[in-house]
Amino acid sequence: MRANQIPTEEITREPAAFADRVTADGRFDRTAEPGRFRLVINRACPWAHRVVIVRRLMGLEEAVSLAVTDPRQEIIEGDPHWVFTEETGSPGDRDPVLGIHALREAYLARDPGYTGGVSVPGLVDTADGHLVSNDYDRLSLDMATEWGGLTRDGAPDLYPAALRDEIESLGREIYRDLNNGVYRAGFAPDQKRYDRAVAGVFRRLDALEERLATRRYLVGDAVTIADIRLFTTLVRFDAVYHGHFKCNVRKLAEYPALWAYARDLFQTPGFGDTTHFDHIRVHYYYVHTAINPTRVVAVGPDPRLWLTAHGREELGGAPFGAGTAPGPVPEDERVPAPA
């Protein structure tokens, strides 16, 4: 569905168009090599944000370069597209490494006959300019588990083998009701389907509030992929999903445990330092003209609230388990701090 179209049916999320896997041993499709791949993202997108967090926690910034598109998509041949602009640091409106203006050019380099949608994140092979994968979940998992010697010393175990069944079981519920549920509410074509989607969103938030009242992290005693998957929705909730997508039964800030949990993660290296609230607000309110035709961008809520004390340390656990925190954010990847 185009962002400027009034929805006529319930939104569905298409499977990844390209899903080559990149691993240290190359046993699937491609081999992880330093400098070979470039990750194209937009900081507004929660699905891309997942991969950015994993990349940072695993210390893959030097191995995989980062390209950030403009939060305002450009209409090309009738469809909205992720593009590079001088406003967001791309000289001549082209990515300085890939030489492209729109991410779709990497899709077409891979398959000249491709006519499907274009989404971020997109992992691009710098050797030939071909899109390797837009499978956000597989990219996250492989960067967390399959990039071997390219990860930093002290990188955490984000996908512990003993916890994977629980991570995936919980992840399916959160995806259905919350990660994708906010979109089904925001783009609902009628009252009945909106009511059903919103009920699922808050049923899941209520369950998570209960779960997180007595434990610091979703699964186990340290940050895992489960927390990353949840965080990228929570950090956008009050800023855009509550008002823009009409998920307004309660704000995240009205859930004591969930709000403290989200602040705990935000203040953990890799989470808040990869969150760009301006890009989030501008993208959602500007691009989705079907539900915000004036393109007026909301100014709140105050992002400084994310830096207030959360008290979650009392529940025990450690964010990186036996690992260590990542180093400083590379200078050219820094986002504005809440102010």
Catalytic residues: 45, 183
Q: Which residues pair with 80 in a beta bridge?
A: 75
Burial class (CB in 10 A: 0-12, 13-18, 19+), 215: middle
Question: 244-273: buried (b, 16+ CB within 10 Å) or exposed (e) per residue?
Answer: bbbbeebebeebebbbbbbbbbbbbbbbbb
Q: Determine if residue 47 is labeled as part of a ligand binding site.
A: no
**Of 125, 109, 108, nearest to 117 (Cα)?**
108
- Describe the strand order of the beta sheet including 37-41 as a list of residue ranges: 64-68, 37-41, 122-125, 131-133
The bridge status of strand 131-133 relative to strand 37-41 is unpaired
| Rounded alpha-carbon distances, angstroms, from residue 316 to 154, 271, 313 | 20, 19, 6
Q: How would you label 153-176 residue by residue, b for 16+ Cβ within 10 Å and e otherwise?
A: eebbbbbbeebbeebeebbeebbe
Whether the CB-CB separation of 155 and 57 falls below 8 Å is answered with: yes
CB hemisphere CA count around 62 (13 angstroms): 8
Q: d(Cα 74, Cα 281) in Å, to the nearest integer?
A: 17
Strands (DSSP E) found in 49-114: 64-68, 74-76, 79-81
Query: Going by C-beta distance under 8 Å and a sequence separation of 6 or more, which residues neighbour residue 1?
Result: 7, 11, 187
> What residue numbers does the annotated binding site for glutathione cover?
82
